[in-house]
Chains A and B, each alone.
Chain A
Amino acid sequence: DVKVTQSSRYLVKRTGEKVFLECVQDMDHENMFWYRQDPGLGLRLIYFSYDVKMKEKGDIPEGYSVSREKKERFSLILESASTNQTSMYLCASSPYSGRAGEQYFGPGTRLTVT
């Protein structure tokens, strides 16, 4: 089974802190994604990566950056956390490099910024 793991299930950080969310997948997938999920808004794509060291902005990249130094690991960075970044963050991976296919999700990290 494909496994996508995220470093923390719950995280509490202070405003202005730099926050790192880590995601690891074990199926050699090319594509990896970071979403945030807020009530009534569904999932919104922050960034995605289709190869090592490659990244593309999603729909809401402002205030975030990403890093993909190894194929299995995709990190989301909040340079200076703000209260409006309190959310559920979901990582996903997909083996398809062309047409969209099934995405495999991690369990999520619920981040609270105080």
Chain B
Amino acid sequence: SQQGEEDPQALSIQEGENATMNCSYKTSINNLQWYRQNSGRGLVHLILIRSNEREKHSGRLRVTLDTSKKSSSLLITASRAADTASYFCATDVLREYGNKLVFGAGTILRVKS
């Protein structure tokens, strides 16, 4: 079963607008991560937020985490056509050995120029 579920499934905006994607999860986490995937390519790590953090910034990205609601949001400000991609949240699951991330189904973002 999926730990993280993104909302919306798809989002279409104009260049310059802000894009907000949400992620909900089910169990306690150590951290939550966001990844981007351009069409037909591998995933690229964007940002990691730990369970004791509430907000984190990286360039035009802002991530918030609400552990009481088991949810996170990714905000991309002043979007560009190059931001067109799929975005995935991933939550860690602590195991005895190694680590394991559980990915959601993703949000497809289209930025129109």
Contacts and interface: CB of A to CB of B under 8 A. Distances in A.
B88 A4 contact: no
B105 A41 contact: yes
B98 A107 contact: no
B52 interface: no
B5 to A, nearest CB: 9
Interface string A47-69: 01111001010100000000000
A56 B41 contact: no
Q: Is the interface of A mostly helix, strand, loop or mixed?
A: strand
B42 interface: yes
A96 B42 contact: no
A45 B100 contact: yes
Given A97-B98, A102-B45, A43 B31 contact: no
Interface residues of A, number: 34
A31 interface: yes
Q: Could you say which interface size class chain B belongs to?
A: 20 to 34
A70 interface: no
Contact of B43 (A44, A99, A105): A105
Interface string B85-102: 000101011110111111
Contacts of A108: 40-42
Interface in A72-114: 90, 92, 94, 96-108, 110
Contacts of B97: 50-51, 54, 56, 97
A92 B30 CA distance: 20
11 contacts: A41-B2, A42-B88, A42-B103, A42-B104, A42-B105, A92-B43, A99-B92, A100-B93, A100-B99, A105-B35, A108-B41
Given A40-B105, A50-B98, 10 more contacts: A41-B105, A42-B2, A42-B104, A97-B97, A99-B94, A99-B99, A100-B30, A100-B94, A100-B101, A102-B33
What 8 A-B pairs come out closest when comparing CB atoms?
A100-B92, A50-B98, A105-B42, A100-B99, A43-B103, A42-B105, A105-B43, A42-B103
